[in-house]
C-alpha cells in the first residue's frame, strides 16, 4: 500500500510505515513559499514583518520581541568567517584630540581633556561585496572608529553617508539579502544593479533618500582619506548635571570630499581592485597622515519635535542650515596595522560600546543594532571572548564575573565569580556615578506594546528632493546616469516602472530623464501600492507616504562641488617622459609640485632610467604599459623634442592622455608638447583644465591651481571620447 509523502507543512501520521518516513526524512528539505504565509523558524505565523515590537510607536524596542531576535540572530550567523556586511575593509591606527572641553554637553572624558591623545583604530569598508571584491564598487562606505578611552571603549560605527535605506532594523536582513548576489546563481558580486535589489527598493519608499546618495558620486570616493563620515543615528550626550542633548556625529576630511567618475571606477576595479586600500596604506607610510575633524550637531532636548522631520528617523539628516556643525577635535591616522588579520579582520565594532556621557535614542534602526552586533561577533570570532583579542582590548583594566568560554585568555585568580559575595570581599564593586559608573538616561516612557511605525516617519521624499536639489548640475547628471545604468540592468519591466514612479515623487524632471534612457514613460500610479511597510492586516491607504515640503530647499553641505579646493596635498601626478626630455623644466616643475604636497611619479616607455636632453640620468618610477591614468589625479607632459617624438609614437601614451582628458582631470603640458597633444582628443584647442604656458613659474602655479580643483566636469558636455 502506497504511503503519502510528508510535506513541509504536514506531520507524519504515526500509522505510516516507519522505514518510509525515515527514508523521506533523509532527503534534502526543500521549501517553496508560493501562496504560503510567513512563519517563524518554529512555525508560528507572523502578522508583522515590517516593525519591531516597541513601547509606543516612537519608543524603544523590546527584548521580548522573539520574532525580531530570531530573524536577526539567523541573519547574523549566515556567513563564516567573513563579515556578512562590510566584509572588505582597510584600517589604520591613530589618535583623536579634542580642541576645547565639551563639559557643557557631555561628561565623556575624552571629549573634555584637551591634553589627552585618545588612541583610535579606524576601519573603512564597502558594505555589499565579499572580502575579495573591488574597492571601487558603487556602494556605501563604512567609517567605524574605535576610541580607546580612559573610561572604556567607545565605538562610533558609521558610514560615509548620513542616512540609511531603512527605518526599522527588522528590515535589515531583507535589505542585505536583496543587495547581495542573487542566491540562485551568486551573481552579481558587489553590485546593486540587479533585479532583487531594485525590487526591494521599489517597494520600500523609505529608501528613496538613501538611493539619491547611493546613486551620487558619494558612492565612488577618490580615497578613504577624501570622504566624510557620519554616525547616521541621533545619539544623546549627557553632562554631569544629567542634562541631555541630542547629537549627530560628523567626520569632516581636511583634504575635502572628492570622487572618481563611474567609467574611471570600473577601470580601476579591473586594474587595481585594492586601490583604496593601497592609497590609505601608502599615504600613512609616506607620512601624509589622513586627518578629519569631528563635528557635532547639538540639539537641545526641548527641540526634539521642532523640525519637519523626526530626529529618530535614520532616513533623515539634519540640514546644516538648521543646526550648524561645530568642529570640536581632530582625528589623525598615523600608523598602519602590523598584521591585517589580527587587527583589521578581527576588530569588533559595536554601536552599543559607549562610555558615560554618551547614550542612545529610540531610533528603531539603532535599537536593532544594539542587539545585532554582539550576536554577530559570537559566531564570527568564535565565542564570547572576542573582547580579549588585542585589537579589541580596552586600555583600562577589565574586572567582572564573566568566566571561561571559547578562547579565554584572562587567567582569573580566586574562587569567586558571582555577585553579591562575601568570600571575595564583595569584589568587584559596583561603581557609583561619582566613580564614573555608567547610568542610562532616565527617559520617561509610557506606551502600549505595538508593532507600528510612527506617522512622523512617513515622509519619504522631501529630503530625497532636498538632496537632489542641492547638487550641482554635473552631480545631478551623474545621479541620472547612475539610475539609468542601474535600472538599465533590471530585467523586470514592472520594477523599472515602480522605480520611475518613486523618482517622480522626488522630482519630475529626474524621473522623465531616467525614463527616456530606459525607453519607458513615467507611470502615474503603481500596483501594488507604493508602501509595503505595513502589517498583514493593515489598510494600505493608512500607510502611504506623507507629502511634505522641507523647510530647507537646498543645502550647500550636500554638494561635493562646495568642498575644499585649496590644496594639492597627496594628489598623485603622472609625468610622461622618454629619452631626451627637457630635464631642467621637468625638475623645476616636479620640485614645485612636491613642495606643494603632491606625489610625483615619472612614467616612461621602459623601467630603469632615461636620459634628459642635458645628459642627466632620471630614474623611472613606472613603465608606461604598467601604468594607467586612472591611478592619478593629474598628468604633466614636459617638453624635449626627442621625448615628445617618442611618446607621439606610443599608443599607450596617447591613450593615457585621452583617458585623463575623458575623466576631466587637469593636464599640464609644455608648449613643445603640442605635436603629441594634436594626436589626442585635446588637439590644439583651449580646453578647461588643460594648462600650457611658456613661463615656467606661471605654468607651475596655474597647474597647481588646476589640480586643486580636482576635476573639470564641464568637459563631460563634449562628445563622448572613446578612451
8 Å CB contact between 612 and 583: yes
CB half-sphere exposure, 572, CA atoms < 13 A: 22
Q: 105-125 burial, b for 16+ CB within 10 Å, e for fewer? A: bbbbbbbbeeebebebbbbbb
Mapping DSSP to helix (H, G, I), strand (E, B) and coil, where does residue 701 land? Answer: helix
Run of H or E including 662: helix 651-662
Q: In the annotation, is 93 catalytic?
A: no
- Looking up cell 642635458 gives 614
- Looking up cell 601626478 gives 573
User: What's 381-395 look like in SS3?
Assistant: CCCCCHHHCHHHCCC
- Looking up cell 582631470 gives 665
- Looking up cell 634628459 gives 612
Q: Which of 51, 86, 112, 350 is catalytic?
A: 86
Beta bridge partners of 331: 96, 292
204 CB-near residues (< 8 Å, 6+ apart): 165, 166, 171, 531, 532, 533
Cα 585 to the chain's mean position, in Å?
Answer: 42
The closest alpha carbon to 665, from 634, 703, 687, 691, belongs to 634
At residue 683, φ and ψ (nearest 5 deg) are 55, -140
Could you give the CA distance from residue 635 to residue 574 in angstroms, rounded to a whole number? 5
Run of H or E including 123: strand 118-126
- Looking up cell 515622509 gives 459
The closest alpha carbon to 299, from 247, 230, 235, belongs to 247
Give the single-character DSSP code of 671.
G
Distances, alpha carbon 721 to alpha carbons 199, 657, 716, in Å? 34, 11, 9
- Please state the length of the chain: 723
Run of H or E including 210: helix 208-214
Distances, alpha carbon 64 to alpha carbons 58, 68, 311, 326, 373, in Å? 17, 9, 25, 39, 18
3 CB-near residues (< 8 Å, 6+ apart): 16, 17, 20, 21
8 Å CB contact between 368 and 169: yes
Q: Which of 57, 153, 159, 658 is catalytic?
A: 159
Cα 199 to the chain's mean position, in Å?
Answer: 22
Beta bridge partners of 154: 147
In a 10 Å sphere around its CB, with 0-12 CB exposed, 13-18 middle and 19+ buried, how is residue 697 labelled? exposed
Could you give the CA distance from residue 161 to residue 228 in angstroms, rounded to a whole number? 7
Distances, alpha carbon 225 to alpha carbons 34, 124, 287, in Å? 47, 10, 13
Could you give the CA distance from residue 374 to residue 377 in angstroms, rounded to a whole number? 5
Q: In the annotation, is 710 catalytic?
A: no
373 CB-near residues (< 8 Å, 6+ apart): 157, 348, 349, 350, 351, 352
The CA-based dihedral angle spanning residues 357, 361, 365, 366, taken in that order and rounded to the nearest 10 degrees: 20
Could you give the CA distance from residue 97 to residue 116 in angstroms, rounded to a whole number? 6
Supply the residues annotated as catalytic.
86, 159
Amino acid at each position: 500500500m502506497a504511503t503519502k509523502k510528508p510535506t513541509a507543512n504536514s506531520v507524519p501520521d504515526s500509522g505510516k510505515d516507519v522505514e518510509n518516513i525515515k527514508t523521506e526524512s533523509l532527503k534534502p528539505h526543500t521549501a517553496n513559499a508560493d501562496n504560503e504565509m510567513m512563519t517563524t523558524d518554529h512555525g508560528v505565523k507572523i502578522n508583522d514583518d515590517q516593525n519591531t515590537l516597541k513601547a509606543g510607536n516612537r519608543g524603544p524596542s523590546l527584548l521580548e520581541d522573539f520574532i525580531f531576535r530570531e530573524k536577526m540572530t539567523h541573519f547574523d550567523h549566515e556567513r563564516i568567517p567573513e563579515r556578512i556586511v562590510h566584509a572588505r575593509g582597510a584600517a589604520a591606527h591613530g589618535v583623536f584630540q579634542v580642541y576645547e572641553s565639551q563639559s557643557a554637553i557631555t561628561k565623556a572624558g575624552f571629549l573634555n581633556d584637551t591634553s589627552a591623545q585618545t588612541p583610535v583604530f579606524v576601519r573603512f569598508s564597502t558594505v555589499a561585496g565579499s572580502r575579495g571584491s573591488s574597492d571601487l564598487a558603487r556602494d556605501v562606505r563604512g567609517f567605524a572608529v574605535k576610541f580607546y578611552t580612559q573610561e572604556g571603549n567607545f565605538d562610533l560605527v558609521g558610514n560615509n553617508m548620513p542616512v540609511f535605506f531603512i527605518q526599522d532594523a527588522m528590515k535589515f536582513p531583507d535589505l542585505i539579502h536583496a543587495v547581495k548576489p542573487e542566491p540562485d546563481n551568486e551573481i552579481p558580486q558587489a553590485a546593486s544593479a540587479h533585479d532583487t535589489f531594485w525590487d526591494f527598493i521599489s517597494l520600500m519608499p523609505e529608501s528613496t533618500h538613501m538611493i539619491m546618495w547611493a546613486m551620487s558620486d558619494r558612492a565612488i570616493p577618490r580615497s578613504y582619506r577624501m570622504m566624510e563620515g557620519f554616525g547616521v543615528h541621533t545619539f544623546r550626550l549627557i553632562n554631569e548635571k544629567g542634562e541631555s542633548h541630542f547629537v549627530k556625529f560628523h567626520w569632516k576630511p581636511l583634504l575635502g570630499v572628492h570622487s572618481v567618475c563611474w567609467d574611471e571606477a570600473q577601470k580601476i576595479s579591473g586594474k587595481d581592485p585594492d586601490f583604496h586600500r593601497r592609497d590609505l596604506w601608502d599615504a600613512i607610510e609616506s607620512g601624509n597622515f589622513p586627518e578629519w575633524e569631528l563635528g557635532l550637531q547639538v540639539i537641545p532636548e526641548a527641540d526634539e519635535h521642532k523640525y519637519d522631520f523626526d530626529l529618530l528617523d535614520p532616513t533623515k539628516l539634519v540640514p546644516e542650515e538648521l543646526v550648524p556643525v561645530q568642529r570640536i577635535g581632530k582625528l589623525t591616522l598615523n600608523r598602519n596595522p602590523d598584521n591585517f588579520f589580527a587587527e583589521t579582520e578581527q576588530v569588533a565594532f559595536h554601536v552599543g560600546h559607549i562610555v558615560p556621557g554618551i547614550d542612545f535614542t529610540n531610533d528603531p534602526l539603532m535599537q536593532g543594532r544594539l542587539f545585532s552586533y554582539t550576536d554577530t561577533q559570537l559566531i564570527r570570532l568564535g565565542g564570547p571572548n572576542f573582547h580579549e583579542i588585542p585589537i579589541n582590548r580596552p586600555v583600562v583594566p577589565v574586572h567582572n564575573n564573566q568566566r571561561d568560554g571559547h578562547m579565554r585568555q584572562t587567567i582569573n585568580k580566586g574562587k569567586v565569580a558571582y555577585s553579591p559575595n562575601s568570600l571575595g570581599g564583595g569584589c568587584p564593586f559596583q561603581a557609583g556615578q561619582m566613580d564614573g559608573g555608567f547610568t542610562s538616561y532616565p527617559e520617561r516612557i509610557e506606551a502600549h506594546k505595538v508593532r507600528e511605525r510612527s506617522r512622523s516617519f512617513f515622509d519619504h521624499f522631501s529630503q530625497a528632493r532636498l538632496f537632489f536639489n542641492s547638487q550641482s548640475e554635473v552631480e545631478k547628471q551623474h545621479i541620472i546616469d547612475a539610475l539609468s545604468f542601474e535600472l538599465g540592468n533590471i530585467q523586470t519591466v514592472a520594477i523599472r516602472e515602480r522605480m520611475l514612479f518613486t523618482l517622480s515623487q522626488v522630482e519630475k524632471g529626474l524621473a522623465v530623464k531616467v525614463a527616456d534612457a530606459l525607453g519607458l514613460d513615467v507611470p502615474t500610479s503603481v500596483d501594488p501600492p507604493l508602501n509595503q511597510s505595513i502589517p498583514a492586516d493593515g489598510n494600505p491607504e493608512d500607510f502611504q507616504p506623507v507629502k511634505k515640503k522641507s523647510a530647507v530647499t537646498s543645502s550647500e553641505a550636500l554638494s561635493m562641488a562646495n568642498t575644499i579646493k585649496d590644496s594639492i596635498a597627496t594628489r598623485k601626478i603622472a609625468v610622461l617622459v622618454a629619452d631626451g626630455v627637457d630635464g631642467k623644466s621637468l625638475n623645476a616643475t616636479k620640485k614645485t609640485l612636491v613642495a606643494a604636497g603632491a606625489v610625483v611619479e615619472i612614467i616612461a616607455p621602459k623601467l630603469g632610467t632615461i636620459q634628459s636632453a642635458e645628459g642627466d640620468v632620471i630614474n623611472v618610477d613606472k613603465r608606461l604599459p604598467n601604468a594607467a591614468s586612472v591611478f592619478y589625479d593629474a598628468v604633466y607632459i614636459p617638453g624635449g623634442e626627442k621625448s615628445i617624438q617618442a611618446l607621439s609614437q606610443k599608443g599607450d601614451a596617447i591613450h593615457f592622455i585621452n583617458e585623463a582628458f575623458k575623466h576631466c582631470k587637469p593636464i599640464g603640458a609644455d608648449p613643445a608638447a603640442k605635436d603629441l597633444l594634436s594626436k589626442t582628443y585635446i588637439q590644439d584647442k583651449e580646453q578647461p583644465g588643460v594648462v600650457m604656458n611658456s613661463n615656467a613659474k606661471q605654468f607651475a602655479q596655474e597647474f597647481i591651481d588646476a589640480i586643486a580643483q580636482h576635476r573639470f566636469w564641464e568637459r563631460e558636455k563634449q562628445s563622448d571620447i572613446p578612451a
